[in-house]
Every structure is written in C-alpha cells, then in structure tokens.
C-alpha cells in the first residue's frame, strides 16, 4: 500500500496517505521559494492561467460610487495574454483597467506616505507585472513589489491601497525567487515551466496577509465545511487552500512534483546554479548573434532586447529575434521555423501570447494589429509578413538541461544557412569566454569578412538545400526554351492580404506558369508534370494523401524531415500511385477508393478536419519512419 493513493477527500488509509503526501509537497514548494506556511499558502490550480483567473474573480473589487472612484486594475503592457485577460473579469463588475507601459513605471509618482499608511475607507487596487518578460526575457525589478505596496511608487494617481500580483511563470523556471524578501501578495506559477512535467498543473501562492480579503462565489467538492441543498446555506472550510481548490486536485501530478524538486537539486545543485548556467549560454549566444554580418556589413539578425545581456538581474535566458537578408529585409519567422525544424532545432515563433511587448519591439501600431486581422492573420498562425512587415519574431530559450553544444548547434544553423562560405564548409564558431562573453578574436572570426563570404554558385553547381530554401531571389527561367503559351488574363477574387494592402482588383497583372509540381502526399516530395487535369479541389490528386502515425496523427516534415525523401508518382493510365524511397520496395496505391470494409481514420490538417479512407492514409511504418 506504499504507493497506492486514494481520493484525499476520503478517510481511508490510501486517502490519508494522499493528503499527507500532498501537504508535504506544499511545504516543499514553499521551501523552494524561501518561505513558510505561516507566510504563504499554496493553492493548486490547472496552471498559471487558472491562477490568474482565480485572483481576478476573488479579489475584493470596489465598484465606483458617489464617494469613491472605485478599484483599479493595472497591468504592465509587457504581460502575458492571461494577465491582460483579467480585465474582462473586472469589466463585468465595472472596474477600470489601466495598462501601464514599462517606461512609465520608472516615472511613477511617489504617493503621500501618510495616505499609504492609512488605507481605511480607501479602495483596493491591484497591479500585475511579470518578473520576466516571456517575449524578450527582460527582468523587471522585484523591488517594485515593496515600492508599490508601501506607496513609494504607484502605477497611477489617486487614493487607495495597492496589492501586487507578480507573474512568476517565466521567471522561476531558471531563477530563484525569495518570497521572504520580495513579499508579493499573489504569485501565479506553472510547474511545467520548471520541470517540463506535469502539464496542466500550476499554483497560486497567496500571502497570508492578503488571503482573508479574497472572496469566492462558487463552491465545489471538498471546499465546504457544511451546506444545505434546499436552503441558501454554505460555510467554507477554514483552510485557504481547501477553500479554493474546487473538486479533487490532480494529486498524482502533485505528488510527482516531489521527484521534480529532488532531481532538480541533485542534477544542478540549486536554482542559483541554474540561473548562472542558463544566463551564460544566453549571453554567449547573444554575443555571437550580434557580431554576425553579411559581406556588405549588414547584420544577419535583429535582436529585440532591453538589455545588453550584462547581468541575470536584468535579463533572462531568452533571445527574441528576426533573421534578415543582406538588404536588411526581414525573413518571415515561419520560414525560419521550417528551416530550424530540418536541423532538429525547436524554436517558438509569433508574439508568444504577449501582444504588448510584440508591438513595442516590432513597432506594430494598434491599427496595424487590426489591419493584420482583416488580412487573415490571427495569433498563433504562420502568417509572418504582411506588406513586408513582420507580425512576430523567433524566440530561443535555455533551460537547466541546455548545453553549450545546444547553443553552438543553433549558431551553426544560422551561419550555415545564411553565411555558408564558397567551399561549402560552415564558418568556425568560437568557444565562450569567461561569463559567456566572446573573446575579441572570436568576434573577429564571426564578423565574416568578404573574402570568406559565399560566392554566387555557377549554374552547374548543385546548391545545397539550405541555400535554395533561404534564397530570396526569384528563380530565373529561360522563357525562350520553354515557349509557354500566353494565357488570357483572368480576373480573380482578391485575397484578404491584397485588400489590406490596398491593391486594386486585378492590379497584380498577368502571370505565366512555367512549371507544374504536384504533391500527392502531404510533406513528401513532388513530381513535375507538363499538363494535368483539374479536380474539385484544384489539381487532381494534389495533396490527397497523408502519412499518419499509429495514433492517426498526420506527420509533417517538422516531426519527420525524412518525409521529403519519399517520392510519389501517379500513373493515370493504370490508376495507381507508385511510392518510392531509398532502401524499400516500391508501393502501389490504387487511385480509386478501396471497396473493402476497413477502419476509417479521422485526422486534422491545418485546422481542417479530415476523414480519409484507409487507401489514402499511409501509415508511417510503410514510409520507413
């Protein structure tokens, strides 16, 4: 019975074991943040977002009235979507939400000390800010907590008592947080961002002085000391954690946290070591990226940062950037993401659920955001450029398991795909110097003098796949040898991006199709045709098949780059598709639907639900993956 855990709301042996083990995990969490149960309470939630929503719903907001301006909800514009989303809850109770820019916090007025020390009868306000920006890695002063709470700094003018919510989700994964010094009222966090497991489990750390102010409207299983089903009678439990943890918590995942803390301590020696390790890697990578230049002197990347990566006090192990061509034009982050996937490098792209910081660093106005939406761009998609302007960036992050080899692999990827020398060998990388800084001679090597730059390949040279994909110049075609017939220009419906750009209908002129390529199997190789029939969805049989794994999930080159080595060929006369790949026998797939009864596989591609029949679903073991 040592490892049998029951529902903690029961009183049997296994349930008591669960309750006691969960309580020990709470103590371990508080010890990790240098505090105790006397000063803070751990409320388990479904994640940091759920913790933020809990605060928004339970904070004692005071609506404006004849004698009071009411409470205020202030948040830093460099905040996660989940923080900004709290304003929808406050708006429902007529509470004003005030966005505060980072630069304005430095100019925040000092409140009268007497008013701050006597908050009786004054409204209660809440100020939220991140310990670390999840967009750029900027670390904001933890001293703001005490300065705002004491009244020495205030996000906006007016009477009232201020409470501080410190969004620590991005910060605590790589840095220690001492709550005995920086006594925030509310601290949401995600354990997934600390350990990588379990997902869907976070916590809200509540200051004991602030906990009595929280009000709860809904009560779920395990939160009531007593209630009546036929009368409006309900008494909550005395424990703050039990009062706010509706239903059965994910106790098996909570118990797993103990092993996460044990492993973290055993492998690294503590969070201070993690902070120095991850910052050194980020500092080294930042220094190397900053020195990369094209032969004409143009930078290879544009980095979005508020610091020079001088100290882990002001900068986290995050680098947000965009790749540039030698003319200074930004290469879309989707293209960078696809190329990184081929090199087995995982990056995050877009605005990272932080529109405020994204706008500030990329120079995107509010009107441009609305214009991008009209053009079809939404958060999280792969529309990376509109009218030549970026809609987001690329982000790399370092964790406690990241190594110097990881950082150098990323740098080699950038160098090999943007600055490959004429002999085809990647440019050499320097080793990091003390504290992660590049030595002077290393910077000179990465400056890429013109004599070592890649020369334009001759037509006879077989350009590497990297250089072909990244090449922004148009492909030249011998129109005389092809002699295609000049088709009559037809008017087509404008795309959303054309409308947003103000291009008149039909203003793009005529085009000549010089080559036809079909991709019968998604993410696999193409085959070229000179003429081809049309179907209901475009070119007949184009993207009609996909490769799925044993779970029925469609595979793409992001997960399996070798898919591009699978070569399909369609024989319209024999009504078959022949699939070839190195090291395997050819597979013949009939073009017509199989009349034999078989299991149907449902999948989703590009947000569209698909219901393909088995003949058009190629399981990955056939593809040799």
Which residues are known to be catalytic?
353
- Segment (H or E) for 163: strand 161-167
3-state secondary structure of 532: coil
| Cα distance between residue 568 and residue 322, in whole Å | 35
Q: Per the omega criterion (within 30 degrees of 0), is the bond before 587 cis?
A: no
| Cα distance between residue 216 and residue 63, in whole Å | 17
| Cα distance between residue 322 and residue 330, in whole Å | 7
The position carrying tokens 């779920």 is 220
Going by C-alpha positions, the residue among 288, 309, 310 that lies closest to residue 299 is: 288
The position carrying tokens 């796949």 is 465
| Cα distance between residue 359 and residue 380, in whole Å | 15
Q: In angstroms, how far is the first alpha carbon of the chain from the final one?
A: 42
Is 102 in contact with 78 (CB distance < 8 Å)? yes
Is 584 in contact with 624 (CB distance < 8 Å)? yes
| Cα distance between residue 92 and residue 483, in whole Å | 66
Beta bridge partners of 304: 320
The count of other CB atoms within 10 Å of the CB of residue 305 is 20
Spell out a b/e string for 385-396, using b for 16 or more CB atoms within 10 Å of the CB, else e.
bbeeebbbbbbb
Residue 211 exposure: Cα atoms within 13 Å on the Cβ side: 20
Pairing of strands 161-167, 124-130: parallel
| Cα distance between residue 556 and residue 553, in whole Å | 10
Going by C-alpha positions, the residue among 499, 582, 594, 489 that lies closest to residue 545 is: 594
């Amino acid at each position: 019975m040592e490892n049998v855990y029951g529902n903690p709301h029961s009183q049997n042996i296994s349930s008591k074991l669960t309750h006691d083990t969960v309580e020990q995990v709470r103590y371990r969490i508080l010890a990790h943040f240098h505090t105790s149960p006397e000063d803070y309470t751990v409320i388990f939630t479904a994640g940091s977002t759920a913790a933020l929503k809990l605060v928004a719903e339970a904070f004692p907001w005071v609506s404006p009235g004849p004698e009071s301006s009411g409470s205020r909800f202030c948040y830093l514009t460099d905040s996660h979507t989940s923080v900004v989303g709290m304003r929808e809850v406050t708006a429902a109770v007529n509470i004003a939400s005030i966005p505060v820019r980072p630069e304005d916090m430095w100019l925040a007025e000092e409140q009268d000390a007497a008013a701050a020390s006597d908050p009786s009868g004054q409204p209660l306000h809440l100020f939220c800010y991140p310990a670390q920006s999840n967009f750029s890695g900027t670390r904001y002063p933890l001293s703001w907590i005490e300065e705002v709470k004491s009244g020495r700094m205030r996000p906006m003018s007016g009477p009232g008592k201020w409470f501080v919510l410190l969004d620590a989700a991005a910060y605590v994964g790589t840095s220690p947080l001492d709550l005995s010094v920086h006594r925030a009222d509310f601290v949401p966090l995600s354990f997934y961002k600390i350990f990588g497991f379990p997902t869907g489990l976070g916590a809200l750390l509540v200051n004991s002085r602030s906990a009595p102010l929280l009000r709860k409207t809904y009560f779920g299983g395990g939160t009531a000391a007593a209630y009546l089903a036929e009368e409006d009678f309900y008494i909550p439990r005395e424990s703050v954690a039990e009062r706010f943890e509706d239903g059965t918590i994910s106790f098996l995942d909570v118990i797993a946290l103990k092993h996460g803390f044990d492993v973290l301590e055993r492998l690294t020696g503590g969070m201070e070591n993690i902070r120095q390790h991850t910052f050194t890697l980020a500092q080294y990578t930042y220094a190397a990226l900053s020195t990369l230049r094209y032969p004409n002197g143009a930078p290879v990347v544009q980095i979005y940062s508020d610091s020079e990566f001088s100290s882990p006090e002001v900068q986290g192990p995050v680098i947000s950037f965009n790749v540039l061509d030698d003319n200074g034009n930004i290469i879309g982050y989707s293209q960078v993401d696809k190329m990184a996937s081929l090199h087995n490098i995982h990056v995050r792209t877009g605005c990272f659920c932080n529109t405020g910081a994204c706008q500030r660093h990329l120079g995107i106005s509010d009107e441009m955001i609305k214009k991008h939406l009209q053009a079809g761009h939404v958060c999280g998609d792969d529309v990376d450029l509109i009218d030549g302007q970026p809609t987001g960036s690329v982000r790399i992050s370092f964790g406690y398991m990241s190594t110097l080899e990881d950082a150098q692999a990323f740098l080699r990827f950038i160098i090999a795909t943007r600055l490959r020398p004429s002999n085809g060998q990647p440019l050499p990388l320097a080793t990091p110097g003390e504290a992660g800084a590049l030595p002077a001679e290393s910077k000179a090597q990465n400056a890429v003098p013109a004599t070592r730059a890649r020369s334009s390949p001759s037509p006879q040279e077989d350009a590497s796949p990297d250089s072909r994909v990244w090449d922004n110049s148009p492909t030249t075609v011998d129109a005389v040898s092809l002699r295609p017939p000049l088709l009559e220009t037809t008017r087509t419906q404008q795309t959303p991006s054309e409308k947003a750009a103000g291009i008149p209908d039909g203003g793009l002129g005529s085009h000549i199709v010089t080559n036809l390529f079909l991709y019968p199997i998604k993410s696999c190789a193409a085959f070229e045709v000179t003429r081809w029939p049309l179907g209901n969805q475009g070119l007949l049989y184009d993207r009609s098949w996909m490769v799925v794994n044993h779970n029925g999930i469609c595979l793409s080159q992001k997960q399996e780059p070798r898919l591009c080595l699978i070569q399909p060929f369609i024989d319209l006369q024999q009504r078959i598709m022949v699939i070839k790949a190195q090291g395997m026998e050819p597979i013949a797939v009939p073009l017509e639907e199989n009349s034999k009864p078989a299991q149907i596989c449902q999948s989703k591609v590009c947000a569209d639900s698909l219901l393909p029949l088995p003949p058009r679903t190629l399981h990955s073991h056939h593809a040799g993956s």
